[in-house]
Amino acid sequence: MKIKQKLVDLQVHSTYSDGSLTPSELFRMAKKQGVEILVVCDHDAATGMADVKRSANKYGFPFISGIEMTIAFKKEELHLLGYGFDHNHPVMKKAAKFYMDSRTERMKKMILNLRKIGYEVTFTQVSKRAKSVIGRPHLADQVIFDKKNKSMLMKEFGFVPDRSLFIQKYLIKGTKAFVEKKNLSARDGIKLIHKAGGFAFISHPLGRRYSPDLSLWPVKGSWSQNLLELKKMGLDGIEAYASDHFIKDVKSLIEFANKQNLYITGGSDFHNSNIPGLPLGYISKTRPIPYSVGEKLLKLVAK
């Protein structure tokens, strides 16, 4: 008789940022798929944590607070995962306001840029798509699903693109509509998570498949040296198991983390059934995140 494998997923996204499922829907899905430890890490705000906690309790999951925060490091953007913090701490609320204001300002400028190109879209339309934190996926979806933009999309792409293709063409660094966002520095981001009682991990540091622009690859210097610099700032761990990583990158990061006494985490980075197109708890169709990674995180945040 085959024993059912226990699964963990320590980075997923809900409707409180750019995910398509509510926290309750995520935990219900996780229960069906055999995931026993699930952490929701929405972008740049912990405004959904009360809902996440209720949903975790409802479906019998341990609750671990989570966030994926955008930080600036050597003039590049990185993502910082926070675990086990007090989501009601004043510093978290202050950070949420900072990022909300920053994202709003950036969104209005990107919308203006897209309108100059020829697309029909307004800030009011985009903001209605966002339950809390507004981001590029909401803008891309609004443009794509508005029938008024179909002829323009056909002209530019030859077909109606999905969210990822639209973002790659217009909303990443070096493209026509992209606008830089104001972010906390890496040092301040790590310090903030610690002040709220949490632990800071670098997200998909060697990502190549989906978000190479949000990894250490564009940052000057070797990835190992950059991780050492982040460790000196107080970094607690690395997301080694990531759907963004190739197998060799996972192995390299685990070796580095063990040598440097850094903790390890892992997540599918699930947003919906298409992004990254994997079941919860997996970083590829055949590679589950080791259950031990989730057990160790539970012990860490319980300290």
**DSSP assignment of the chain:** -PPPPPEEEEEE--TTTT-SS-HHHHHHHHHHHTEEEEEE-EES--TTHHHHHHHHHHTTPPP--EEEEEEEETTEEEEEEEES--TTSHHHHHHHHHHHHHHHHHHHHHHHHHHHHT----HHHHHHH-SSS--HHHHHHHHHH-GGGHHHHHHHHSS---HHHHHHHHSSTTSTT------EEHHHHHHHHHHTT-EEEESSTT--SS-GGGSSTTSSS-HHHHHHHHHHTT--EEEEEETTS-HHHHHHHHHHHHHTT-EEEEE--BSBTTTB---TTEEETTEEPPHHHHHHHHHHHT-
Do 28 and 56 contact (CB within 8 A), yes or no? no
**d(C-alpha 4, C-alpha 298), whole Å:** 21
Does residue 252 sit within a domain? yes
Does residue 180 sit within a domain? no
- Domain stop point among 170, 201, 232: 170
Do 84 and 64 contact (CB within 8 A), yes or no? yes
Question: Cis ω on the peptide bond leading into residue 90 (within 30° of 0)?
Answer: no
Q: Are residues 80 and 195 in the same domain?
A: yes
pTM: 0.92
Least confidently predicted of 28-32, 114-118, 171-175, 231-235 = 171-175
- Domain stop point among 170, 193, 215: 170
CB atoms within 10 A of CB 140: 26
pLDDT score recorded for residue 78: 97
- Domain stop point among 135, 170, 205: 170
Q: Are residues 275 and 164 in the same domain?
A: no
Which of 76, 109, 79 shows the shortest CA–CA distance to 218?
76
Q: Are residues 213 and 289 in the same domain?
A: yes
Q: Are residues 150 and 257 in the same domain?
A: no
- Rounded average pLDDT over 258-280: 94
For position 42, which CATH number holds?
3.20.20.140
**d(C-alpha 94, C-alpha 283), whole Å:** 33
pLDDT (tens digit, 9 = 90+) per residue, 58-102? 999 999 999 999 999 999 999 999 999 999 999 999 999 999 999
- Cα torsion 288, 23, 17, 166 to 10°: value is 60
What percentage of the chain reaches a pLDDT higher than 90?
90
Q: Are residues 196 and 82 in the same domain?
A: yes
Tokens of 111: 């919308």
Distance, C-alpha 302 to centroid of its chain: 23
Does residue 137 sit within a domain? yes
Mean per-residue pLDDT of the chain: 95
Q: Are residues 16 and 49 in the same domain?
A: yes
pLDDT score recorded for residue 3: 53
Answer whether residue 1 shows pLDDT above 60: no
pLDDT score recorded for residue 173: 87
pLDDT score recorded for residue 133: 87
Answer whether residue 33 shows pLDDT above 90: yes
pLDDT (tens digit, 9 = 90+) per residue, 160-183? 999 989 999 999 989 999 999 999
Q: Are residues 18 and 157 in the same domain?
A: no
Does residue 30 sit within a domain? yes
- Rounded average pLDDT over 223-250: 97
Number of independent structural domains in the chain? 2
Q: Return the sign of the alpha-carbon dihedral for residues 235, 64, 11, 43.
A: negative
| Residue 13: domain span | 7-88+185-301
Residue 89: what are its φ and ψ, rounded to 5°? -65, 140
Does residue 177 sit within a domain? no
Does residue 198 sit within a domain? yes
Q: Are residues 191 and 270 in the same domain?
A: yes
Answer whether residue 28 shows pLDDT above 60: yes
Tokens of 134: 């507004």
